[in-house]
């Protein structure tokens, strides 16, 4: 299913993640999933937020360079090979490029995990994942 992701571009310096988290805490916005990647000089904090619109506005108001994107979220079996068989292989077989992904476990427990996907063809990827 399509979901909104908030991305924040920050300098790769101590305390920058803390500053982002303080903005979200002040606005009482829960983080559902989080990914941090970096290069030598900057980082990208990607988040699935309880209220993405308020999160985006709040972060921008605090001076952070932020944007919102539509990405995919898929429920996968939380077993060895689950990501391979239900996401990576079907997308690769269909010629869809998986640009990045990160996963999280829902609080409800059970044998399922959630994966967040950025792909080069969201329409095609969504159709493939729904068919599985």
CATH number at 91 reads 3.30.70.260
Per-chain mean pLDDT for the chain: 93
For residue 117, the SS3 value is strand
Instruction: Name the pLDDT band for 107 (thresholds 50, 70, 90).
Output: low
CB proximity list for 53: less than 8 A, separation 6 or greater? 4, 68
10: containing domain: 2-69
Taking 80 as the threshold, does the pLDDT of residue 53 lie above it?
Answer: yes
Paired with 36 in beta bridges are 45
CATH of the domain at 19: 3.30.2130.10
Give, in degrees to the nearest 5, the angle at Cα 53 between 129 and 119.
25
Taking the model in full, what pTM does it have?
A: 0.88
Domain match, 75 and 24 both = no
Domain match, 61 and 49 both = yes
Domain match, 99 and 41 both = no
Distance CA 129, CA 132 (A): 5
Domain match, 59 and 88 both = no
For residue 44, the SS3 value is strand
Domain match, 85 and 65 both = no
Quick one: average pLDDT of 48-56? 97
Domain count of the fold of the chain? 2
Q: Which pLDDT score, from 0 to 100, does residue 105 have? A: 80
Q: What is the pLDDT of residues 78-105, one digit of tens each?
A: 899 999 999 999 999 999 999 999 988 8
* Domain end residue (candidates: 69, 89, 105): 69
Q: Which pLDDT score, from 0 to 100, does residue 108 have? A: 58
């Amino acid at each position: 299913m399509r979901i909104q992701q908030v991305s924040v571009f920050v300098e790769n310096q101590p305390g920058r993640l803390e500053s982002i988290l303080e903005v979200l805490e002040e606005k009482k916005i829960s983080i559902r999933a989080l990914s941090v990647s970096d290069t030598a000089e900057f980082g990208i904090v990607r988040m699935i937020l309880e209220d993405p619109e308020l999160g985006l506005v709040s972060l921008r108001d605090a001076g952070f360079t932020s944007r919102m994107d539509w990405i995919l979220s898929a429920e996968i079996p939380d077993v060895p090979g689950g990501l391979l068989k239900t996401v990576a292989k079907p997308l690769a077989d269909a010629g869809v490029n998986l640009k990045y992904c990160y996963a999280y476990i829902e609080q409800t427990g059970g044998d399922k995990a959630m994966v967040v996907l950025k792909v080069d063809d969201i329409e095609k990827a969504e159709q493939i994942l729904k068919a599985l």
